[in-house]
Structure 1
Amino acid sequence: MEKSNGNKATQIFWSIVSFLRRCLFLVISVRPIPHHIAFIMDGNRRYAKKRKLKEGDGHRVGFLALMSMLKYCYELGVRYVTIYAFSIDNFKRDPEEVKSLMDLMREKIEGLIKEESIVNQYGIKVHFIGNLKLLSEPVRLAAERAMEATANNSRGVLSICIAYTSTDEIVHAVQESCEEKSDEISVMNASGAGYGLLQLGGNEKEERENIVKLTDIEKHMYMTVAPDPDILIRTSGETRLSNFLLWQSAHCYLYSPSVLWPEIGFRHFTWAILSFQRSYFYLDRKRKQS
């Protein structure tokens, strides 16, 4: 009986907390709300060392922090969230650590598509961003299943950058753009419409049309699934981007709380939003000038 009363009291308490949080979000929403927030989840290993936890447990606690951040984002009305889950450079770590992280990642990816998961609760479409060919087959297949299972969700978008670096994304986009343009020129030459374009040189207009443009590169970027981020949050007090969204973050607000990723909480999230709102009009002006 006492246990039942205790559970009921706990449920009431968290219901009140949730209600108050939503009320605060309504107040915050009076000012501009970011459309897209990106996270660099830094400090999982340091957290485990600090708390004397087993290797890998820091990432498990970090996953719980991620679930909280996703909940806050979607409750506030942020439509796009991007997380830096695993860099290509992380493959250089100890093989046992990489294997442990891949196993944990597969476990959590499979958990995303369960009926009671936050993804289904908030109607989130999941994208896995990066050079997925570098992943082990079980992780890659789990990612593909998650994308397929959430393809019809439309209330929010979660982009998980895995086997990703920004330089790899840019190189990929340039290569794809060049190949596409080369194919277009080949088709034109084969049909006679572009005769002499490559051999003798075409007129100035034709040459301009066959140059790889900025828009050509941008449409081949991995991150075409989301607009550029409005806020990029990196924990641990680090101000480096670590090869994450370099192309997309030219005009976003950078926020670097000193806490380790597993320690990030509601107050840090709220302060990031308020800081963004204070800088919003300056950032918006710079964005329009570019």
Structure 2
Amino acid sequence: MEMKEGHSAGFESLAKALETCYDCGVEVATVFAFSIENFNRSRYEVEWLMELGKSKFRQVVGNGELCEKYGIKIRVLGNLDLLPSDLKKVLLDAEELTKNNTRAVLNVCWPYTSRDDMTHAVRKIVSKRYEADSITEDLISKNLYTGGLPKLDLLIRTSAVYRLSDFMLWECVDPDCDIEIVSVLWPAFSATRMVWVLLKWGFGRTYYGRRMAKVLNIEHAKDE
């Protein structure tokens, strides 16, 4: 598939996957739309991705059907100072248009890396002049771009790649976070695949949660 077609198909897959998530009751979804490392790609590809981003988010600002249907608040996470001013304005306009929606949240990471996020969090903490002894993991978490959001339950990595590409590294180390590696490329990630991943995750939580509860009850009975 030609590069432009591939990225366009990826955006279409994203819309279908998000619609499926919100239909299934997901309250917060986060998408890795553009990595800071992607600026190292060819100038042609980077410029095309910037134009594609403007086009898609102008659609959101223009009609906002998906956001209105599911009550989605858009939040842009990342170092916006690295973006062209016209794209930055479109993203901020999308945030402004949806700021009063309360049913669900869509975090769009653009441009983003976890290392930059952690660096940004540390700078915020230092600027507030916290004492060294008062800097905790919880304080760092609150100052990340995802600060104030629920903990991450599930991270999905497509393309059968066993690396996270600097995406939500801090959040996914939580012991309650599951990581799902799927074999399909992102443009081929269908709504059906999204449903399967959610069902698998939900079954795992229910089954292993019940097993753990039984173990805890047994241990409790022994203590008595």
Give yes or no for the alignment of 1:236 onto 2:184: no
- Whole-Å separation in 1 of the counterparts to 2:163 and 2:198: 20
- Whole-Å separation in 1 of the counterparts to 2:71 and 2:202: 26
Give yes or no for the alignment of 1:162 onto 2:110: yes
Residues 65 and 264, structure 1, Cα contact 8 Å, conserved in 2: yes
Percent identity over the alignment is 36
Q: How far does the alpha carbon of each residue in 1:176-199 deviate from its partner, in whole angstroms, 9 at most, with x for none?
A: 1122125xx7xxxxxxxxxxxxxx
Give every structure 1 segment of 4 or more consecutive aligned residues whose post-TM-superposition deviation is greater than 4 Å.
281-285
TM-score by length of 1: 0.68
Give the structure 2 partner of residue 258 of structure 1. Answer: 183
SS in 1 for 2:129: helix
Residues 59 and 92 of structure 1, relative CA distance in 2, 3 Å threshold: same
The answer to which of 262-271 and 147-156 deviates more is 262-271
SS in 2 for 1:229: coil
Give the structure 1 partner of residue 39 of structure 2. Answer: 91
Give the structure 1 partner of residue 215 of structure 2. Answer: none
User: How do residues 1-290 of structure 1 correspond to structure 2 at under 5 angstroms?
Assistant: 48=1, 53=2, 55-181=3-129, 208=133, 211-250=134-173, 251=175, 252-280=177-205, 282=208
- Whole-Å separation in 1 of the counterparts to 2:191 and 2:95: 28
Residues 72 and 106, structure 2, Cα contact 8 Å, conserved in 1: yes
The answer to which of 217-226 and 154-163 deviates more is 217-226
TM-score by length of 2: 0.86
The structure having more radius of gyration, on CA atoms, is 1
Cα displacement (A) at 1:117: 2.5
Cα displacement (A) at 1:122: 1.2
Give the unaligned 5+ runs of structure 1. Answer: 1-47, 186-206, 286-290
Cα displacement (A) at 1:278: 3.3
2:6 is aligned with what amino acid? G
Give the unaligned 5+ runs of structure 2. Answer: 213-224
- Whole-Å separation in 2 of the counterparts to 1:156 and 1:113: 17
Q: How far does the alpha carbon of each residue in 1:87-126 deviate from its partner, in whole angstroms, 9 at most, with x for none?
A: 0000011111101100100111111123352112211000
- Whole-Å separation in 1 of the counterparts to 2:80 and 2:178: 28
Q: How far does the alpha carbon of each residue in 1:42-92 deviate from its partner, in whole angstroms, 9 at most, with x for none?
A: xxxxxx2xxxx3x31111111111111111011111010100000000001
- Whole-Å separation in 2 of the counterparts to 1:113 and 1:155: 18
Residues 17 and 194, structure 2, Cα contact 8 Å, conserved in 1: yes
Cα displacement (A) at 1:283: 7.7
Count the aligned residue pairs: 208
SS in 2 for 1:247: helix
- Superposition CA RMSD, Å: 1.9
- Whole-Å separation in 2 of the counterparts to 1:102 and 1:65: 18
Q: How far does the alpha carbon of each residue in 1:198-251 deviate from its partner, in whole angstroms, 9 at most, with x for none?
A: xxxxxxxxx84xx32223222211012522221111111112111000000113
- Whole-Å separation in 1 of the counterparts to 2:148 and 2:193: 27
Give the structure 1 partner of residue 222 of structure 2. Answer: none
- Whole-Å separation in 1 of the counterparts to 2:166 and 2:40: 15
SS in 1 for 2:49: helix
Residues 142 and 148, structure 2, Cα contact 8 Å, conserved in 1: no
